[in-house]
Chains A and B, each alone.
Chain A
């Protein structure tokens, strides 16, 4: 120990090496790659579910068509789950997101299908229609979030109660807007947010997005390395860094490849050919969907939310408050304002989800988003967000949403009745949280 003082760096690496030799091969792998064992566990669980359902359904699950649909169905819950991570990290809960989604969907539907056309006199198809409708929805989401957040943060009513009230109030409002009438059809451009053959970006653009994403991954790994070098912090081994890059790029390009393997249905191809004066050849015309627009929106939201949680002051404060609210207050953080902002973000995300969900339906119904709050909370919690506050990741929550949706779509494919589906989803949620508790005790 005497030479520790005289030559600390050497002693440090020696100590590291000593510790490393105690680790198993898996431990060494995890340490080198700095991957989270819980995240790997979730990816593993997802793969098991996928393969299991694929086999049970006689090969129906892992098809381009089904996976593409799965990605679109996951988008709206995944988007809200990223916000729920922040809410739960701060030791709050938001039970109102499904109803907020419903009322915003209704407002956007009424705005574009009725108000802007009949009252404001805009022509059907005017591009301002979808822009104004969407903007109105986002602003409304922000305002609802601000109102609920204000009551929670400044009037100190527990979030559970405020958002439970919200669950009833906003659902009731959605019904009152049109006395329960469904509003349809929606603006043609607005509908693109829901996916479908037109709401996808096609093969070429998808490959471009994929390649750009791979470039971004490479850039981030290199940038992270140079940052560590700048301060002379320990570096990840090159093999680990390369492995991470290769796996990430393979996943991205694989996803693009799958999206590009799902062709437009014959009817739509025929319409398209007719409109553009193309003759359809003997074997049919293969036009790929490519990545769906709602999926792109969800990925963009995921990136923005990850950035917010990891790289901004606000994100740091959210986690610090979740870890120890009193300490955050004593450090001079305005905890009330941060709380209110988190609910405002949640409101905006509910608006984006509402746009996607109603665009996909091509209608606004007062039932839009019913029970989504449970899926969203389940996604966040299954994705590793601790209900005790202070920990959770955006990526985990999005994977959690994918897992929940996989289970649900899989059960539909297997012809399982909806009551039994509820039983399974409920049981999975409880088991996931239990596993999480066990994991936290051991680590």
Chain B
């Protein structure tokens, strides 16, 4: 697709030289990535490449060992999920991160409940809001009274997506948001992404589906073994070249190489 985003001015998100290690494993190693308003940046890479870990640092789930995060050009201190939400960063986790034993509305508002004038939970209002937002994503969904553990995988995923878009996010992180969805629901999420993009929201999209990525993303960023192989506009590279980046770590001419790019040995 044609890249219409003006990548000038200050980026919405600028993560610089981020590293984190678990025990001996350098899950993310000196990774830098940025995101502009109204832009969709896809994160690609093999299993265990460090994609989820990198975005979990942005969403406050993990504390980085080193590196800086800038939001709108200002250095942000994000050390827990609450901090990230204050910056308007909302996340759909790969694991969905739903409390299985409570219903959809309780999950949507978890940590940000609507209260009555008496300081008690306003379950009615929360359910009404939940019905509205779920109607946008999955109009056939009716099981509002049941704990989410009883829902299907796709329905659970819809709940997780609904939660992320409910609070007027400025930055949306989607970690494999359509992995469990049927074709119709996947298309709906695609539409949603375009709609949010038009509203000026920046989106990090993690996906293994190259086809989807080329349809939705303005840029791709490929990771391998915790390092960034390279970043490229989807208009400047072919799908095969991106596959080469993922599998071999080979950076094509249309991409800006990162620290993880295959060094051409002499």
Contact = CB atoms under 8 A, between A and B. Distances in A.
B98 A324 contact: yes
B8 interface: no
B97 interface: yes
B81 A330 contact: yes
B121 A391 contact: no
Interface string A314-326: 0010011111101
A227 interface: yes
Interface string B79-111: 011100100000101011111111000100011
B115 interface: yes
A8 B138 CA distance: 13
A319 B93 CA distance: 20
Interface string B3-19: 00000000000000000
B81 A329 contact: yes
B185 interface: no
A312 B120 contact: yes
A336 to B, nearest CB: 11
B166 to A, nearest CB: 12
B74 to A, nearest CB: 21
Interface of A is mostly: helix
Contacts of B101: 319-320, 322-324, 390-391
Contact of B120 (A4, A12, A311): A311
A332 interface: yes
B102 A323 contact: yes
Contacts of B85: 332
Contacts of A390: 99-101
B93 A324 contact: no
Interface string B127-170: 11000000000011010000101000000000000000000000
Residue from A4, A15, A326 having most chain B Cβ neighbours under 10 A: A326
Interface string B36-75: 0000000000000000000000010100000000000000
A233 interface: yes
A327 B96 CA distance: 8
Given A4-B140, A331-B81, A324 B100 contact: yes
A333 interface: yes
A231 B128 contact: yes
Contacts of A227: 124
A320 B111 CA distance: 10
A5 interface: yes
Interface string A1-23: 00011001000100100000000
Contacts of B121: 310-313, 316
A161 B96 CA distance: 32
A331 to B, nearest CB: 4
A38 interface: no
Given A231-B128, A233-B124, A332-B81, A327 B139 contact: no
A331 B92 CA distance: 11
A96 B75 CA distance: 47
A8 B139 CA distance: 9
A316 B106 contact: yes
Contacts of B81: 329-332
Given A230-B124, A332-B85, A390-B100, A313 B80 contact: no
A323 B100 contact: yes
Nearest to B128: A231
B88 to A, nearest CB: 13
Contacts of B97: 324, 326-327, 330-331
Interface in A319-350: 319-324, 326-333
Closest 4 pairs (CB-CB, A-B): A323-B101, A390-B101, A320-B99, A331-B111
23 contacts: A5-B139, A8-B139, A227-B124, A231-B124, A312-B119, A313-B113, A313-B121, A319-B99, A320-B102, A323-B101, A323-B102, A323-B147, A324-B97, A324-B99, A326-B97, A327-B97, A330-B59, A330-B91, A331-B97, A332-B81, A332-B111, A332-B112, A333-B110
Interface of B: 59, 61, 80-82, 85, 91, 93, 95-102, 106, 110-113, 115, 119-121, 124-125, 127-128, 139-140, 142, 147, 149
Given A320-B101, A320-B106, A326-B97, 12 more contacts: A15-B142, A227-B124, A230-B124, A233-B127, A313-B115, A316-B121, A322-B101, A324-B97, A327-B99, A328-B110, A330-B81, A331-B111
